[in-house]
Amino acid sequence: MKTLDAIVLTLVIIGAINWGLIGFFNFNLVDTLFGSMAWLERTIYAIVGVAGIYSIMFYGRDRVRD
């Protein structure tokens, strides 16, 4: 399960960096890399979104360990 957690954390970080770039510089990295392939861009956003939802359970894990 730790491998899945590392993948999810990496995807959430990539999503956060992309949102930071959009907020600070109006630069969408995903759109720049995959702009001509809208279906691929939407798929990437969906995967990052699922990773964000999955990462919510990290809060519950921290409480159990304390």
pLDDT band with cut points at 50, 70 and 90 for residue 46:
very high
The model's pLDDT over 1-29, given as tens digits with 9 standing for 90+, comes to 789 999 999 999 999 999 999 999 999 99
pLDDT at 63 (0 to 100): 60
pLDDT at 62 (0 to 100): 60
More confident residue, 12 or 37: 12
pLDDT band with cut points at 50, 70 and 90 for residue 64:
low
- Long-range CB contact pairs, 57-60, < 8 A, 24+: 58/5
According to the 3-state scheme, what is the secondary structure of 4-62? Answer: HHHHHHHHHHHHHHHHHHHHHHCCCHHHHHHCCCHHHHHHHHHHHHHHHHHHCHHHHHH
Contact present, 30 and 18 (Cβ < 8 Å): yes
